[in-house]
Homo-oligomer: A and B are copies of this chain.
Amino acid sequence: MPDKQKNIYTNNLKVAKYGNKAWQKAQDMGLIDLGVIRKRNKLITKDCHEFINMANFSYLGLDTHPKIVQGAAEQVLKSGSLDQPTARLRIHLSDIDDAEKALSELFEGFVLTASTCSALSEGVLPLIASGVFTDNQKPIMIFDRFCHFSMSITKPICADETDIITVPHNDLEQVEDICKKNKYVVYVADGAYSTGGSCPMPELLKLQEKYGLYLYIDDSHSISTLGKNGFGYARSHLNEINERTFFVNSMSKGFGCSGGMLLTGTPNYQDFIKRFGGPIAWSHPINSAGIGGILASVKIHFSEELVILQKALQKNLNFFDSLIKTNQLGSQIPIRIMELESKEDPSIIARKIFDKGFYVAPVSFPVVPKGKIGLRMMIRSNLTLDEIKQCCEIINGTVNHY
């Protein structure tokens, strides 16, 4: 039994004691675990409360696009099953190959899909940590402090392969220091952060050029919403994807489907990942409905419709920004966090806004600085200007009392 230091990366007892309080408050205020049905642009709870969901990350409204919904349903019937019940590595329905080919063309790289984006990071990050993709030399793995849970949960697994370091949010000075001292360095970060803002992609690419830095970027919150073909924030900074850059993206957000994709500049990593990439190897792939949705969504992404939806989103973001000032003012990434100087529990404020017809997500430290509280809003192309105006008026009217 190894007698080694515990709770370097996680401490669920501490979480249970402290972190759970905010969730319990949200539960007490009836703000979580809401089972709903959909009614046009609104959702309805079991007790018939109608509301507009401002925590909806389908930024282009593609989740309810008739072609995607129809494509998903038809693919299930065409496949004659939800899945081909054998390890994907051995045998899979060829529609998965078609979907990956279509995604590869769309995002101009090489795409490997999995049931979720989280499954991809659980599978790929430990392989990267081992050195199999860096000339069999173990790289230093740097995790941005705010990188998504789906990546940070793998820290102990990666730490069993190599040394890992967590750096303050967007602290590129420290990243550069590590690059100066080590030949193989991997930086793990979000493209667009669900906590607001983005990674400094131009500066990261400069470090890549100067030191050969490897990048592993989860850009789930911006794909589809921005750039040519819906490249998103991070991918848009590269003409061609180089061999030192890995993108992972959820397809359940802007893309409007379900599942996750790994996007690289070379197909060379794929065989090893399919064989040894954790859940990519042994868990089931995206089901046939997801595959049908992807095939339909790719067509929309290649069409003029995407440009129209992207413009509608930016118009809505500009309008929102004219009514509520946040630190994300002017950002093309559709997440806004309103910070409040208050000692009130943010769930109490969010509940008052919810009662008036809008669900906004209450957030606390570390998403906002210590001593502050926050409300998070996700802006979509399929909100009307009237709805945004009404939402902002309700938010402003409510927070003025705190």
Contacts and interface: CB of A to CB of B under 8 A. Distances in A.
A242 interface: no
Given A33-B274, A126-B12, A284-B116, A68 B90 contact: no
A210 interface: no
A253 B85 contact: yes
Contact of A258 (B34, B57, B82): B82
Contacts of A149: 278, 281-282
Interface stretch (A13-21, A319-327, A337-345): A13-21
A385 interface: no
Interface string A76-99: 110111111111011111101100
A117 B92 CA distance: 19
A1 interface: yes
Contacts of A76: 69, 72-73, 76, 289
A277 to B, nearest CB: 10
Most buried by B among A82, A86, A289: A82
A148 interface: yes
Contacts of A6: 138, 160-162
28 contacts: A4-B5, A7-B160, A8-B160, A9-B160, A10-B160, A12-B126, A23-B89, A27-B271, A33-B89, A37-B93, A53-B91, A55-B87, A57-B86, A63-B81, A64-B81, A69-B76, A70-B77, A76-B289, A115-B258, A117-B283, A118-B119, A118-B282, A119-B119, A126-B153, A148-B282, A150-B279, A150-B282, A153-B278
